Amino acid sequence: MQHGKGQSYNMPKDKLVWYVAYGSNLLEDRFSSYIIGGQPEGAQKIYDGCRDKTLPSRSKPKKINYEIYFAKNSSVWENGGVCFLNTNNNKSKIAYTKMYLVTRQQIEDIAKQETNSTNFINIDFEESIKKGYSIFKRPSWYGKLLFLGYNCFVPMFTLTNENNDLSFSKPSISYLLTIIEGIKQTFGIKKSEIVNYLSNKNGILGEYTVDDLNAIIDKNS
C-alpha cells in the first residue's frame, strides 16, 4: 500500500487512495451512502453507490490548511448552500476533514454522484498529482479533483468547485447538523470549538450568529 512519490503514477483502478471529506461526508453514515447507495438522513436524494461497494478499510481525522465556504443552492438540502473548499492553500486557515481509504474507481464513482453525471467518470489522477489538480467536468459543482499531498505514502484527493469566486449561500439547518455531527464524530471536540470553527465561514457569517449555532446544537444534542 505504500508508494513513493515517483511510483504513484499509472496507478491501477483498484489502487488505494485517500478521499478527503470536508462537508457533510465527514459523517460516516452519510459518506457510506456514496459507497453502498441509499438515502442518508436529512438528504432528499437516493444515491446509486459505487460499483465496488466495499466500505473504506480505514478512516481518520485530518486538519488541512484550506478554508471551507458555503455556496450554490442544493435541492438535496432544502435549497440551502453546500460546502466547498477554497483551492488556495493558506497556512492561516484550517479545515476539519476525514480521510477515507478507498480505491481510485470509488473516487470516480463518488465524483459521478457528486456531479450528477449519467456516464461513468474517468479522472486523470496522474495529472492531478503532477499539477496539483485536474478538472474532469466543466462546468460542475464538484468537477475539480484537488491533490492534497501524501499520507503514509498514499496520495490524498478531494473534490471541489473549479472556481474560488462562487457567490456565498446560507446552508440549511439539516445540512449544518450533518457537518456538526461529522465533526463531533471525527474529532470529538467541544461544542464551543465547533461553533468557533463554523461561525466565521462565508455562507454562515451574517446568516447564523454564534447564539444561533449554539441553539441549533443544543436543540439537536
Choice among 8-17, 61-70, 159-168 with the minimum mean pLDDT: 8-17
Q: Is 57 exposed, middle or buried (0-12, 13-18, 19+ CB in 10 A)?
A: exposed
- On average, the pLDDT of the chain sits at 92
Domains, the chain? 15-160 (3.10.490)
Q: Is the pLDDT of residue 6 over 50?
A: no
User: How is residue 216 written as a grid cell?
Assistant: 441549533
Q: What is the pTM assigned to this prediction?
A: 0.91
pLDDT digit string, tens, across residues 106-116: 999 999 999 99
Counting residues of the chain whose pLDDT is more than 90, the rounded percentage is 87
Residue 60: predicted pLDDT? 97
**What number of CA atoms fall less than 13 Å from residue 153's CA on the CB side?**
9
Contacts with 55 (C-beta within 8 Å, 6 or more apart), sequence order = 32, 35, 36
Radius of gyration of the chain (CA): 17
Where residue 54 falls among pLDDT bands split at 50, 70, 90? very high
pLDDT digit string, tens, across residues 109-146: 999 999 999 999 999 999 999 999 999 999 999 999 99
User: How is residue 98 written as a grid cell?
Assistant: 476525514
pLDDT digit string, tens, across residues 154-196: 999 999 999 999 999 999 999 999 999 999 999 999 999 999 9
